[in-house]
Structure 1
Amino acid sequence: MTYRSLLVLLDDDPLCAARVKVAIDLARNFEAHLTGVAPTGLVELPISVEAATVVTELAEAAQAELGDRARAAAQAFDAACVAAKLSACRSVVLEAEPADALLREAHSHDLIVLTQPDPAETGYTMRRAVVERLVLFNARPTLLIPYAGTVEAPFQNALVAWDGSREADRAIADALPFLRKARRVDVAAWRENGLLADTTPNAELEALREWLARHGVTATVRNEVASAPIADAILSRTADLDTDLLVMGGYGHTRWTERLLGGATRGVLATMTVPVLMSR
């Protein structure tokens, strides 16, 4: 298994250029095709006929402006690919909301590259909603690049946060192309403080280590005791191990008819300091 087709979001986010650079580096490293998707977003028209007659022209002008921004993002992507001498790439402008466009295109790609939204930037709430929807509903793994710092790909030191769940199993399987190329791979299972005193790997973790070895990945496995919230404990360990890629399941739950991220997932997404690969 490897990544043969990568997908990256193109927009007017100041972090888009850094995101595209990572995507280009990964496409080169995996000898994969890279698609840049520039969604325009949609302008909502008023419901009442009376209001529609007044603002339709303004709405059309606003939609045209959104289209111009999307095309500019696509052109910048094309130029970056040319500068990087990456020929296996293409850009596409889609008249759709960003999450809808990415979810639709994800079916024909192996990995989506996004950026952690920067709370200080305009449009933070909207960008966060796009990321959360992709994590919850994406059919493919999502690679999130932190908004702070510089990211160099490919990644050398990977940490897998594993708890035996379906989501964690999916994430570690989806991350195999990264794990095979990593210099060091650590797999840790966290438990709340007091629930687990012994950090010795149990039979389940040993079986996972053997499974990884069969796939060409040499990993160190251990149990971890979390005295802090799980998200904080995971991110603390990434710093201790000089991790440059965190792999974990993306968790969600249902409140009435609304899908929501789980606490650990939301915590990592909010405070991540290294790239995170998430799967559901």
Structure 2
Amino acid sequence: MTYRSILVALDATPANGARTAIAIALARQFDAHLIGLAPTAVLDAQVMQTAAAMADAAAAASERLLDEAMAIAQAFRKRCTSEALPSFEALADPSPASTSLVLRAQCADLLIMSQPDPSLPGHRLQAAELEEVLLSCAKPVLLIPYTHREPVGTRRVLVAWDGSPESVRAMTDALPLLRRAAQVTLMHWRREAQGSAPLAHLAGIRQWLAFQGVDAEVRDEVTTLAFGDALLNAASDTGADLIVMGAYGHARWTERLFGGVSRTLLASMTAPVLMSH
């Protein structure tokens, strides 16, 4: 298993340049085809209400947004060309971000996005779009902190495991990166001692990783902290360059509810996070 096709979300935020550089570096690392996708930005509620009252204004606003997406895609194309990336394409899509990214990710092995910057206008909308992508995407999503400017490191990787299908899938989806890591820590947290049962199962997971070419250290810890906080503390203690975890959530009627651990990481991530749902 490897990443043969990588999709990177393009936008007009300050983090776009660093995200593009990370995507280009990963494409080189895995000899992968790189797809830059610039979806049409979503108009905020006030603009939509104003535009709805005037059909011509609405059409003009949509055309302007598509022009902006095309300009972003063109800038991505020029950057890949200037860096002599062997295989790439740049796309502008009139669809909203979550719809566009979820659909296009079906034709890629990995999707790269950024943590929304809370200081920027439209943060809540961007966070909601990201949650929708994480809960609907069929492929793993590599999230880059909005302050992160360096390539994604794999010297020390922290894998959060709780036995759920999401955590197992994330661990499997991360194998191309885990195989390149110098140190992999497989961690499990619980509220109270449960005998040797968790350790026995973790030993089986460690053996499976060894079969996949990954040598992992196993840690099973009892904690009184919220699991999201325990995960962030462990990432700091181990000096993790990358965190691997499941994206937890479920649908209730038409509302998407995101798990507490996932929300904690999205709000406070200190290193890139690979998530799978």
Q: TM-score, normalization: structure 2?
A: 0.93
Alignment of 1:172-191 (within 5 A): 172-191=171-190
Q: What is the letter of the counterpart of residue 92 of structure 1? A: L
Give the gaps of 5 or more residues in structure 2. 45-50
Q: Does residue 85 of structure 2 align to residue 86 of structure 1?
A: yes
8 A contact 1:174–1:279 mirrored in 2: yes
Displacement of 1:36: 0.5
Q: What corresponds to 1:3 in structure 2?
A: 3
Moved over 4 A (4+): 197-201
- Contact map agreement 1:200 1:223 (CA 8 A) in 2: no
Q: Which amino acid aligns with 1:95?
A: P
Give deviations 1:47-102, integer Å, cap 9, x for gaps. Answer: xxxx96x6111111111210121012111211221232212110011110000000
State the partner residue of 1:147: 146
Q: 2:54 aligns to what?
A: 55
Amino acid at match of 2:204: A
Residue matched to 1:47: none
Determine if contact 2:18/2:148 at 8 Å carries over to the other structure: no
Q: Which residue in 2 is equivalent to 1:77?
A: 76
Rounded Cα–Cα distance in structure 2 between residues aligned with 1:275 and 1:109:
19
Q: What's 1:259 paired with? A: 256
* Aligned-pair Cα RMSD in Å: 2.0
Partner of 2:229: 232
* Structure 1 residues without counterparts, runs of 5 or longer: 45-50
In 2, the alpha carbon distance for the partners of 1:77 and 1:178 equals 24
Aligned with residue 267 of structure 2, among 270, 273, 279: 270
Q: Is the 8 A contact 1:199 1:224 kept in 2?
A: no
TM-score normalised over the length of structure 1 = 0.92
How many Å separate the matches in 2 of 1:62 and 1:177? 42
For residues 122-156 of structure 1, the C-alpha deviation after alignment (integer angstroms, 9 at most, x for no partner) is: 12111111110111110000000001243323422
**Does residue 20 in structure 1 map to residue 20 in structure 2?**
yes
Contact 1:26–1:154 (CA<8 Å) still a contact in 2?
Answer: no
Q: Aligned partner of 2:208: which letter? A: W
Residue 35 of structure 2 is aligned to residue 35 of structure 1? yes
Q: The residue matched to 2:54 in structure 1 has which SS? A: helix
What one-letter code is carried by the residue in structure 2 that aligns with 1:140? K
CA contact (8 A) 1:11 1:69 kept: no
Contact 1:199 1:225 in 2 (8 A): no
1:107-126 matches, cutoff 5 A: 107-126=106-125
Provide the residue aligned with 2:213 in structure 1.
Answer: 216
3-state DSSP class of the match of 2:186? strand
Cα distance in 2, alignment partners of residues 42 and 116 from structure 1: 17
Q: For the residues of structure 2 that align with 1:242 and 1:276, how far apart are their CA atoms?
A: 14
Structure 2 Cα separation of the partners of residues 150 and 74 of structure 1: 20
* Letter matched to residue 271 of structure 2: V
Is the CA contact (8 Å cut-off) linking 2:8 and 2:23 kept in structure 1?
A: yes
